Amino acid sequence: MRAIFFKLPTVMLLSLALLGCATNGDPRDPLEPLNRGIYKFNDVVDKAVLKPVATGYRDAMPDPVRTAVGNFFSNLDDVLVLLNDLLQFKPEQAASDFSRLVWNTSVGIAGLIDVATPMDLPKHNEDFGQTLGYWGIGDGPYLVLPFLGPSTLRDTVGTVVDVHFDPVAQHTPVAERNSAIAIHAVDNRSRLLDAEEVLDEAAIDRYVFLRDAYLQRRRGLVYDGNPPREKFEDYDEPAPSTPAESRP
């Protein structure tokens, strides 16, 4: 799925970021009318193609096979995690993630078996969007990307950078790469099927729920689970410091 997006012209991405659509909604989402249109497009594609395929995949594949597939792609993702550990000057976490990558790639048979987690080498989540946030770059406007879903201007730039170091996206031949991307997308979607049922019952406006959940989660990841208080209009207190300012 990601390969489709990265073929879009850079000019189009910049135009989306700079477009000023007047709205009285959430100030984090100045492009809400456009974003809602793309969200509806993605939802149609998901219901017509991805969700049925993911449902069939979940029903047909034994749990051990699905676990192995998830472990395999998680292990490849640890390459990006390790690179961003280093960019964020997290030496202890980088050492842990390097050990995790070595153990799972070797003893875990190319990552099919997660032997590292029981060894107290937990999975971490780092990407270049978080690295930009760590160094004080703000979110920018909220964006919904075709096929890819929720993002922000900062995270979109981060994804463009990450794809150049992603072992899956850079794999050749192209046919194998595209097959791997498709399998990864279907596997990820299958893991969201149960959560989607809860979302359908709880959310009055799915768009708003997904937007707020995404922005809250990304903020938590940038600050390693301990974000400062946000500044609201009713408060006179100063705006919270950026990660770069709050870290030594």
Domain chopping of the chain, boundaries:
2-227
Long-range contacts of 98-104 (CB under 8 A, 24+ apart): 101/75, 104/71, 104/75, 104/78
Whose tokens are 């995690």? That residue is: 81
pLDDT for 13:
47
Measure the N-to-C terminal CA separation of the chain; round to a whole number of Å. 38
pLDDT in tens, the chain (248 residues): 444 444 444 434 444 444 444 445 899 999 999 999 999 999 999 999 999 999 999 999 999 999 999 999 999 999 999 999 999 999 999 999 999 999 999 999 999 999 999 999 999 999 999 999 999 999 999 999 999 999 999 999 999 999 999 999 999 999 999 999 999 999 999 999 988 877 777 768 999 999 999 999 999 999 998 888 876 544 444 444 555 555 54
pLDDT for 243:
52
Q: For the CA atoms of 172, 176, 182, 183, what is the dihedral angle to 10 degrees?
A: -120
Q: Which amino acid, 95?
A: A
CA distance 42 to 51: 11
CA distance 153 to 151: 7
Contact indicator for 104, 97 with CB cutoff of 8 Å: no
Q: By three-state DSSP, how is residue 142 classified?
A: strand
CA distance 35 to 189: 21
Contact indicator for 241, 227 with CB cutoff of 8 Å: no
pLDDT for 14:
45
CA distance 22 to 92: 46
pLDDT for 196:
81
CA distance 213 to 28: 13
| pTM of the full structure | 0.82
Whose tokens are 């998830």? That residue is: 70
